[in-house]
Amino acid sequence: MSTIRFEQRGDVGSLVLANPPRNELGRQFADDLLDAVHEASVSSIRALIIRAEGADFGAGGDVPEWPGKDASWFRTFIAEVNQAYAAIEALRIPTISAVRGAVVSGHYELALRADLIVASETATFTWVEAGTGFTPLAGGLQRLAERVGRGRAAAHVLLAETIDAVEAERIGLVYRVVADGELDSTADGLGAELARGATRGYAATRALLKAWSSGGVVGADALMLDLSMDLYDSVDTQNAIDEIARTATNGEDYVHPPFVGR
Protein backbone atom coordinates (compact mmCIF):
# COMPACT_ATOMS: atom_id res chain seq x y z
CA MET A 1 0.00 0.00 0.00
CA SER A 2 1.32 3.43 -0.93
CA THR A 3 2.27 5.71 1.96
CA ILE A 4 1.75 8.85 -0.16
CA ARG A 5 -0.89 9.59 -2.75
CA PHE A 6 -1.56 12.32 -5.27
CA GLU A 7 -5.02 13.86 -5.41
CA GLN A 8 -6.44 16.47 -7.76
CA ARG A 9 -9.42 18.76 -7.33
CA GLY A 10 -9.77 21.04 -10.29
CA ASP A 11 -6.57 23.01 -10.80
CA VAL A 12 -5.15 22.21 -7.34
CA GLY A 13 -3.27 19.02 -6.47
CA SER A 14 -2.26 17.52 -3.13
CA LEU A 15 0.54 15.21 -2.07
CA VAL A 16 -1.00 13.45 0.93
CA LEU A 17 1.23 11.71 3.48
CA ALA A 18 -1.06 8.78 4.19
CA ASN A 19 0.64 6.63 6.81
CA PRO A 20 -0.45 8.09 10.17
CA PRO A 21 0.19 8.47 13.00
CA ARG A 22 3.90 9.08 12.30
CA ASN A 23 4.08 9.10 8.49
CA GLU A 24 7.52 7.51 8.88
CA LEU A 25 10.18 8.60 6.42
CA GLY A 26 11.64 5.32 5.19
CA ARG A 27 12.57 3.60 1.95
CA GLN A 28 8.97 3.19 0.81
CA PHE A 29 8.25 6.82 1.68
CA ALA A 30 11.02 7.97 -0.68
CA ASP A 31 9.76 5.77 -3.52
CA ASP A 32 6.11 6.69 -3.00
CA LEU A 33 6.88 10.42 -2.80
CA LEU A 34 8.79 10.40 -6.06
CA ASP A 35 5.98 8.48 -7.76
CA ALA A 36 3.39 10.96 -6.44
CA VAL A 37 5.45 13.96 -7.59
CA HIS A 38 5.76 12.42 -11.04
CA GLU A 39 1.99 11.97 -11.13
CA ALA A 40 1.56 15.62 -10.14
CA SER A 41 4.02 16.77 -12.79
CA VAL A 42 2.05 15.24 -15.68
CA SER A 43 -1.32 16.40 -14.38
CA SER A 44 -3.11 19.63 -15.26
CA ILE A 45 -2.72 21.22 -11.81
CA ARG A 46 -1.61 24.84 -11.41
CA ALA A 47 -0.77 24.69 -7.67
CA LEU A 48 0.24 21.92 -5.26
CA ILE A 49 -0.32 21.38 -1.52
CA ILE A 50 1.74 19.00 0.65
CA ARG A 51 -0.41 17.79 3.53
CA ALA A 52 -0.73 14.80 5.86
CA GLU A 53 -3.36 12.56 7.35
CA GLY A 54 -3.45 12.31 11.13
CA ALA A 55 -2.65 14.66 13.97
CA ASP A 56 1.02 15.08 12.99
CA PHE A 57 2.67 16.08 9.74
CA GLY A 58 5.48 13.64 10.41
CA ALA A 59 7.92 12.37 13.02
CA GLY A 60 11.07 12.15 10.90
CA GLY A 61 13.10 9.17 9.77
CA ASP A 62 12.02 5.56 10.16
CA VAL A 63 15.08 4.80 12.30
CA PRO A 64 14.12 1.17 13.03
CA GLU A 65 14.98 0.47 9.38
CA TRP A 66 18.59 1.54 9.88
CA PRO A 67 20.31 -0.90 12.31
CA GLY A 68 22.47 -3.41 10.49
CA LYS A 69 22.69 -1.31 7.32
CA ASP A 70 26.07 0.00 6.18
CA ALA A 71 27.01 3.56 5.24
CA SER A 72 26.64 2.87 1.51
CA TRP A 73 23.02 1.78 2.00
CA PHE A 74 22.35 4.85 4.12
CA ARG A 75 23.96 7.22 1.62
CA THR A 76 21.83 5.81 -1.21
CA PHE A 77 18.68 6.05 0.90
CA ILE A 78 19.35 9.70 1.77
CA ALA A 79 20.20 10.47 -1.86
CA GLU A 80 16.84 9.01 -2.93
CA VAL A 81 15.00 11.10 -0.34
CA ASN A 82 16.77 14.19 -1.63
CA GLN A 83 15.88 13.24 -5.21
CA ALA A 84 12.19 13.11 -4.30
CA TYR A 85 12.38 16.41 -2.43
CA ALA A 86 14.23 18.06 -5.31
CA ALA A 87 11.51 16.90 -7.70
CA ILE A 88 9.03 19.03 -5.74
CA GLU A 89 11.21 22.10 -6.13
CA ALA A 90 11.63 21.34 -9.83
CA LEU A 91 7.89 21.72 -10.46
CA ARG A 92 7.02 24.92 -12.31
CA ILE A 93 3.96 25.69 -10.19
CA PRO A 94 3.55 27.29 -6.74
CA THR A 95 3.67 24.90 -3.78
CA ILE A 96 2.31 25.05 -0.23
CA SER A 97 3.06 22.92 2.83
CA ALA A 98 0.10 22.62 5.21
CA VAL A 99 1.35 21.31 8.55
CA ARG A 100 -0.12 20.48 11.93
CA GLY A 101 1.15 18.72 15.03
CA ALA A 102 4.72 17.42 15.08
CA VAL A 103 6.95 18.47 12.19
CA VAL A 104 10.24 16.70 12.89
CA SER A 105 13.58 16.69 11.07
CA GLY A 106 13.10 14.93 7.69
CA HIS A 107 9.46 16.02 7.55
CA TYR A 108 10.53 19.55 8.52
CA GLU A 109 12.91 19.42 5.56
CA LEU A 110 10.06 18.29 3.32
CA ALA A 111 7.90 21.23 4.44
CA LEU A 112 10.77 23.60 3.64
CA ARG A 113 10.78 22.49 0.00
CA ALA A 114 7.47 24.32 -0.60
CA ASP A 115 7.22 27.99 -1.48
CA LEU A 116 4.87 28.75 1.42
CA ILE A 117 4.26 27.03 4.75
CA VAL A 118 0.85 27.34 6.41
CA ALA A 119 0.66 25.96 9.94
CA SER A 120 -2.11 25.16 12.35
CA GLU A 121 -1.74 26.47 15.89
CA THR A 122 -0.90 22.91 17.01
CA ALA A 123 2.23 22.73 14.85
CA THR A 124 5.65 22.34 16.44
CA PHE A 125 8.93 22.33 14.54
CA THR A 126 11.76 20.18 15.86
CA TRP A 127 15.32 19.21 14.94
CA VAL A 128 16.65 16.07 16.64
CA GLU A 129 19.99 15.85 14.83
CA ALA A 130 22.11 17.45 17.58
CA GLY A 131 21.11 14.65 19.92
CA THR A 132 22.03 11.92 17.43
CA GLY A 133 25.39 13.15 16.12
CA PHE A 134 23.89 14.07 12.74
CA THR A 135 23.16 17.24 10.87
CA PRO A 136 20.03 17.71 8.70
CA LEU A 137 20.44 15.41 5.71
CA ALA A 138 17.83 16.59 3.19
CA GLY A 139 18.68 20.23 2.61
CA GLY A 140 16.84 21.55 5.65
CA LEU A 141 19.63 23.53 7.30
CA GLN A 142 20.44 25.70 4.30
CA ARG A 143 16.78 26.21 3.40
CA LEU A 144 15.99 27.15 6.99
CA ALA A 145 18.86 29.67 7.00
CA GLU A 146 17.54 31.12 3.75
CA ARG A 147 14.20 31.82 5.42
CA VAL A 148 15.16 32.88 8.94
CA GLY A 149 18.85 33.85 8.78
CA ARG A 150 22.05 31.99 9.59
CA GLY A 151 22.17 32.76 13.30
CA ARG A 152 18.58 31.76 14.03
CA ALA A 153 18.97 28.58 11.96
CA ALA A 154 22.19 27.65 13.79
CA ALA A 155 20.55 28.04 17.20
CA HIS A 156 17.46 26.09 16.13
CA VAL A 157 19.50 23.11 14.89
CA LEU A 158 22.49 23.10 17.26
CA LEU A 159 20.30 23.39 20.35
CA ALA A 160 17.78 20.84 19.03
CA GLU A 161 15.04 23.37 19.65
CA THR A 162 11.35 22.80 19.33
CA ILE A 163 9.48 25.96 18.35
CA ASP A 164 5.75 26.47 18.16
CA ALA A 165 3.73 27.86 15.30
CA VAL A 166 3.60 31.38 16.76
CA GLU A 167 7.41 31.57 16.97
CA ALA A 168 7.71 30.03 13.50
CA GLU A 169 5.52 32.80 12.10
CA ARG A 170 7.42 35.48 14.03
CA ILE A 171 10.79 34.48 12.57
CA GLY A 172 9.46 34.20 9.02
CA LEU A 173 9.51 30.43 8.71
CA VAL A 174 5.73 30.19 8.39
CA TYR A 175 3.58 32.36 6.14
CA ARG A 176 0.38 32.05 8.18
CA VAL A 177 -0.86 30.37 11.37
CA VAL A 178 -4.52 29.37 11.66
CA ALA A 179 -6.74 27.37 13.99
CA ASP A 180 -6.34 23.63 13.54
CA GLY A 181 -9.84 23.26 12.13
CA GLU A 182 -9.10 25.92 9.52
CA LEU A 183 -5.82 24.52 8.20
CA ASP A 184 -7.18 22.50 5.31
CA SER A 185 -9.62 25.15 4.13
CA THR A 186 -6.93 27.85 4.37
CA ALA A 187 -4.47 25.78 2.36
CA ASP A 188 -7.15 24.94 -0.19
CA GLY A 189 -8.06 28.62 -0.50
CA LEU A 190 -4.45 29.64 -1.04
CA GLY A 191 -4.00 26.84 -3.55
CA ALA A 192 -7.07 27.98 -5.48
CA GLU A 193 -5.87 31.59 -5.42
CA LEU A 194 -2.46 30.60 -6.77
CA ALA A 195 -4.03 28.30 -9.36
CA ARG A 196 -5.91 31.29 -10.76
CA GLY A 197 -2.64 33.15 -11.27
CA ALA A 198 -0.33 33.44 -14.26
CA THR A 199 1.59 30.17 -14.22
CA ARG A 200 4.43 31.37 -16.47
CA GLY A 201 4.90 34.46 -14.32
CA TYR A 202 4.95 32.33 -11.18
CA ALA A 203 7.52 30.00 -12.75
CA ALA A 204 9.78 32.97 -13.55
CA THR A 205 9.43 34.30 -10.00
CA ARG A 206 10.35 30.92 -8.52
CA ALA A 207 13.33 30.61 -10.89
CA LEU A 208 14.59 34.06 -9.89
CA LEU A 209 14.38 33.10 -6.22
CA LYS A 210 16.37 29.93 -6.94
CA ALA A 211 18.99 32.02 -8.75
CA TRP A 212 19.16 34.32 -5.74
CA SER A 213 19.55 31.32 -3.42
CA SER A 214 22.59 30.08 -5.27
CA GLY A 215 24.12 33.32 -6.57
CA GLY A 216 22.76 36.14 -4.44
CA VAL A 217 21.47 39.40 -5.89
CA VAL A 218 24.17 39.44 -8.55
CA GLY A 219 23.27 35.94 -9.71
CA ALA A 220 19.56 36.76 -9.87
CA ASP A 221 20.24 40.03 -11.71
CA ALA A 222 22.25 38.14 -14.33
CA LEU A 223 19.26 35.93 -15.16
CA MET A 224 16.42 38.38 -14.55
CA LEU A 225 15.88 39.62 -18.11
CA ASP A 226 16.30 36.17 -19.64
CA LEU A 227 13.71 34.77 -17.26
CA SER A 228 11.24 37.61 -17.54
CA MET A 229 11.26 39.11 -21.02
CA ASP A 230 9.57 36.20 -22.77
CA LEU A 231 6.60 36.80 -20.48
CA TYR A 232 5.85 39.98 -22.40
CA ASP A 233 4.58 37.99 -25.38
CA SER A 234 2.53 35.56 -23.26
CA VAL A 235 -1.23 35.53 -23.65
CA ASP A 236 -1.69 36.36 -19.97
CA THR A 237 0.55 39.42 -20.02
CA GLN A 238 -0.78 40.75 -23.33
CA ASN A 239 -4.36 40.37 -22.08
CA ALA A 240 -3.42 42.23 -18.90
CA ILE A 241 -1.69 45.04 -20.82
CA ASP A 242 -4.70 45.52 -23.05
CA GLU A 243 -7.07 45.60 -20.07
CA ILE A 244 -4.86 48.02 -18.08
CA ALA A 245 -4.70 50.35 -21.07
CA ARG A 246 -8.46 50.16 -21.58
CA THR A 247 -9.35 50.82 -17.95
CA ALA A 248 -6.82 53.65 -17.66
CA THR A 249 -8.28 55.32 -20.73
CA ASN A 250 -11.82 54.98 -19.38
CA GLY A 251 -10.97 55.93 -15.80
CA GLU A 252 -11.99 52.51 -14.48
CA ASP A 253 -10.44 50.31 -11.82
CA TYR A 254 -8.29 47.53 -13.23
CA VAL A 255 -9.33 43.91 -12.58
CA HIS A 256 -7.06 41.40 -14.26
CA PRO A 257 -8.66 39.04 -16.76
CA PRO A 258 -8.56 35.28 -16.06
CA PHE A 259 -5.10 33.83 -16.54
CA VAL A 260 -4.84 30.93 -18.95
CA GLY A 261 -1.24 29.86 -18.41
CA ARG A 262 0.07 30.77 -21.84
Catalytic positions, written as ranges: 109, 129
What is the DSSP code string of the chain?
--SEEEEEETTEEEEEE-STTT--BSHHHHHHHHHHHHHHHTS--SEEEEEESSS-SB--B-GGG-TT--HHHHHHHHHHHHHHHHHHHHSSS-EEEEE-SEEETHHHHHHTTSSEEEEETT-EEE--GGGTT---SSSHHHHHHHHH-HHHHHHHHHTT-EEEHHHHHHTTS-SEEE-GGGHHHHHHHHHHHHHTS-HHHHHHHHHHHHHHHHHHHHHHHHHHHHHHGGGGGSHHHHHHHHHHHHHHHHTPPP-PPPP---
